A and B are shown apart, each in its own frame.
Chain A
Amino acid sequence: MITFSGEHDLNTAPDLRQKLAAELEDGFAIVVDLSGAAFVDSSILGAVLDARRRAREAGVAFEVALNEGAQPVERVLDVTGLRASLPVHSTRGAAIEAARSGPAGE
């Protein structure tokens, strides 16, 4: 589980990539909770997208939680059209539930 809080951009992206890579290495299902993020830029979205791709290749479940009303992140996901290409759940519980039931496939 990777939980966001505060603002994230190119400066914190390497740290996020490292965390995501470590989770992938462990091979457990991954849940990224973006609900608490006050700001994310495209480098952060890119890190999440790349991790999602790798997880799919490795057969590891990868789910995203984003509470309704988490506006700053919702806005960028909507504008970039990424909401459709990421497995976004409106509660952390739903994301964890989906992750437990295994990789989504697609």
Chain B
Amino acid sequence: MTVQGLNLTVAARPENLAVIRQALAGYADAVGFDSDAIADLKTIVTEACMNVVVHAYPDGTAGPLEVSVEPDEHGLEISVRDQGSGFRPRPADVEDSGLRLGLPLIAALSDEFEISGGGGGTEVRVKLGYSRNGAEEESGDERHDPETAEGMVMSIAAGAFVRPVLARVIGALAARADFSVDRLSDTILIGDAVSAHDASDFRQGTVGIELSDGMGWIGVRIGPLVEGGGERIVDGLELPGGTSLSKLASDVTVKREQMEGGDAAEYVVVRIDR
């Protein structure tokens, strides 16, 4: 899948809202949104994603929450989707005046706003830009397998937008995993190095990143890469001060997987401990 914008899939959980917000703020910053527009975008995305977290799935299950961003000449088109079975009333024991404010907030802050869906999931689609004239339709994204909802799956076109998005996402995850400031900066260096890596090593020019985290650790899976790309990423990461990736990370491996059509793809799997 070639991606023009940014795609993210995370488990629909409250703690992932900040990560999504940071990723989109980084992207919007990189495409030239001013700080007011970024602030509005953060509110819109948070409110739309919160609806998924609160309403999409039965209590105790965190299905996938998918966010995609497509740029056009007017600004960004943002889609927030779930695979739930339609709107679920909030639990009766939750008293919250705030939950009634979410959709009006999205409507007020966006240039265009629509909700669609039914049995197969709900989608909130929003356009936000400098001008009031939207354009473009359909981002044509594939859906990710619900089983991937544990971690965070992200794909973004190789190029200038990778770094700001990845830095913010990794920063948010590291803060959540309670990393020290030193470890946080190490972790962001890894993101920077991946961002700077030659786009030709990424299949279809799309940087795929899967992130996972737990108590005191972050996992990063980079790929699919072309053959030899994995080794080049591991060898070629030139971090300041001559530090190598394997010194910063607790574990670095290159894995090869068979793709559909017989091609082999490589992935670099990195684990960083607190």
A→B interface (CB under 8 Å): 7, 9-11, 13, 39, 41-47, 49-50, 53, 71-72, 75-76, 79-80, 82
Contact = CB atoms under 8 A, between A and B. Distances in A.
B40 A10 contact: no
B100 to A, nearest CB: 8
Given A42-B102, A75-B40, A76-B43, A11 B96 contact: no
Contact of B98 (A49, A53, A75): A49
A10 B98 CA distance: 10
Contact of A75 (B39, B53, B104): B39
B21 interface: yes
25 contacts: A7-B18, A9-B18, A9-B21, A9-B46, A9-B50, A10-B50, A11-B14, A11-B17, A39-B43, A41-B17, A41-B43, A42-B47, A42-B101, A43-B96, A43-B98, A45-B98, A46-B96, A46-B97, A46-B101, A47-B98, A49-B98, A75-B36, A75-B39, A76-B105, A82-B101
Contacts of A44: 98
Given A46-B96, A75-B39, A41 B18 contact: no
Contacts, number: 80
A42 B18 contact: no
Interface of B: 14-15, 17-18, 21, 36, 39-40, 42-43, 46-47, 50, 53-54, 95-102, 104-105, 108-109
Chain A contact residues, majority secondary structure: helix
Nearest to B175: A6
Contacts of A76: 43, 105
A42 B36 CA distance: 18
Given A10-B53, A41-B46, A41-B50, A79 B108 contact: yes
